[in-house]
A = this chain, B = another copy of it.
């Protein structure tokens, strides 16, 4: 059924306000390497809720509180004094069950904060199918918001956006009137047969490689499990919405 809904891809969170937004917009935040992959992993392993915070100072106020885990990352590295960092593998354990995760990262939590006046969900390859179902069955316009890297475009969020946009557009429910959506679709088509090779020269894959955490990159691009949980922002917290 032709619904003529709008789909846009915002390639860097700093450009968010320049895109068409309304009460009828769902914002899908993407920080594939690694914040939104961490978020989906943590929910899959039983975290109760996630509080994204913008600064290390705010995150610190949650340290040593019962039933809270506090995770921090800057420039792809964990921060001393915090319980966890930004590697999805850290969250694959039973200790996080029913806890609240307080999370601050370089880009992903900033993007969530920028979009927080709208309906916000987060996505990555772990929950892309569930997100597709939710978006197709809603009547809403979609803005896929790439977190980018410190205000700069990145390839990994863009190819993920192209993958999700490609699934949505094939439904015939969306109009594409947005050049960044066309760019994301084209780049996804170039990358889809081997994301890892396509990203071999990308800035963040090189950054993670230099930190010896390339296994994180492999997991974020090709996770070995799927989840039907859609992290959804409610009153400043991400909660688990299942479809």
Contact = CB atoms under 8 A, between A and B. Distances in A.
A201 B187 contact: no
Contact of A15 (B19, B152, B179, B183): B152
Instruction: Say which size band chain A's interface belongs to.
Output: 20 to 34
A155 B183 contact: yes
Contact of A11 (B11, B150, B201, B206): B11
A7 to B, nearest CB: 13
A183 B151 CA distance: 16
A158 B179 CA distance: 10
Contacts of A176: 201
Given A11-B153, A152-B18, A203 B183 contact: no
Interface string A177-190: 11110110011001
The copy count of this chain in the complex is 2
Nearest to A17: B151
A217 interface: no
Which of A15, A154, A176, A179 has most chain B Cβ within 10 Å?
A179
Top 10 closest pairs, chain A to chain B, by CB: A18-B151, A153-B180, A155-B179, A154-B179, A179-B203, A18-B152, A179-B202, A153-B179, A11-B153, A186-B190
A119 interface: no
A110 to B, nearest CB: 13
Interface in A162-203: 176-180, 182-183, 186-187, 190, 201-203
